[in-house]
Structure 1
């Protein structure tokens, strides 16, 4: 984490916060002074996160929520508004892989679940908190994507399609808000030592990959009020932005 990052008094929402990159991003945001709203299905992981954040002197609010509970996602924005009146940082991190298989062999229920969690729930989350981010003096949205959205490798169809859709939504949202203080960027974390990566590449030696804490430390500066980039993809492994030409 950048030593200059100061998020004191700011409120940050992180989905998929019970493990992996989301877990360590929540810790980084709390260490920078933000009050973290940690969302995940796994209560045990959230409680462990809460313990670590509090032990380090930070603050967190735990929200056990399955993102397939669309009504619950809708209520989240209202609950945040009632308690804090705004949201300063959104980290839309939660997602699932589905299966690695030929498109014609993917079961409909698997494809639909990938789209429901990775795309529909992300859209519902954006819709729920967009008014709150607009109330911040420097709202920041970090939307987790993947290199799969661009490489579209064989057998990765459902996941690749879902992440391409999420990136497109983020770009449209960024263009809609480009004249506001809100800044919205997607992130390609690259290959990381996570459970999802192990599911996708079971024969890979995880020790050859960066730990999620390393990747989180590179991503967290995107929450800075000083950030000006919007509508881009941040390549966490290189620390560089991939910029698209925005519509005129």
Structure 2
């Protein structure tokens, strides 16, 4: 499926490696101008080279998602330069620790919630007016099966991803009458640094490469996408509806 994103402005967080890195490249290949955000300047510079190599263009924005003021200012900067935002891929996040709930240090739990949840909310708040100015805004909020499985020792991460999905669903419900489409995405087990941190004994060669996941995300940001407020499970290539009690 050929996707034309010419003239579109796309914001990707966690763009210096993994799924964010390759999603940024795919967006650029499709014609979007990519606003790439990450903490690692070197990784962003490598991304810029890769995007130029495929004939694309990018604006690099190095900052830490813990800097809430920078998130707030990002929307203003995008508005000043482009006046709108067409695509958001909120990909950045941290694992925290694999530990019994009662053993997690308060500062660790707070950091996971701050980066994964509060920063995502601040990002949504910052770009929502810009995305409503797009004729076909598309937002992908990266989640995880951990939000639903709630396996032992994954309490902080699972809670953070459940919260992120709730934010995405609420945002989608608030904007369902607009052209803006908002989806949560479960990328599944992927060959990333976070996965290696969580499963150090796992053979990464048995997992999909993040470039494969990135390619699967492209139809979700296409102008033809009509679904909103749902969870897309990449490995199964299907939408999961949220049922009300």
Q: TM-score, normalised by structure 2?
A: 0.99
- What is the match of residue 220 of structure 2? 222
- 1:125-204 alignment runs, 5 A limit: 125-204=123-202
Going from structure 1 to structure 2, the CA distance change for 1:115 and 1:26 (only over 3 Å counts) comes to same
Specify the SS of the correspondent of 2:74.
helix
Q: Within 1, Cα distance between the matches of 2:235 and 2:43?
A: 26
Contact 1:175 1:246 in 2 (8 A): no
CA deviation after TM superposition for structure 1 residue 245, in Å: 4.0
What is the CA-CA distance between 1:56 and the residue it aligns to? 1.0
CA positional deviation for 1:221: 1.3
**Inter-partner Cα distance in structure 1 for 2:129 and 2:237:** 29
Deviation at 1:23, TM superposition (A): 0.3
1:152-183, CA deviations, whole angstroms, 9 ceiling, x for partnerless residues?
Answer: 00000000000000000000000000000000
Match of 1:64 among 62, 65, 90: 62
Task: Give deviations 1:4-45, integer Å, cap 9, x for gaps.
Answer: 210000000000000000000000000000000000000000
For residue 246 of structure 1, report the CA deviation from its aligned partner.
Answer: 6.8
TM-score, with normalisation over the residues of structure 1?
Answer: 0.97
Q: Distance in 2 between matches of 1:245 and 1:59?
A: 41
Tell me, yes or no, if the aligned pair for 1:95 and 1:118 is still in contact at 8 Å.
yes
Task: Identify the residue that residue 112 of structure 2 maps to in structure 1.
Answer: 114
SS at 1:47 equivalent: helix
Count of aligned pairs: 245
RMSD: 0.9
Task: Decide whether aligned partners of structure 1 residues 220 and 36 sit closer, same or farther in structure 2, where only a CA change above 3 A counts.
Answer: same
Contact residue 100 and residue 155 of structure 1 kept, 8 A: yes
Q: Structure 2, unaligned stretches of length 5 or more?
A: none
Query: Residue 219 of structure 1: CA displacement?
Result: 1.1
Give ranges in structure 1 of 5+ residues lacking alignment.
none
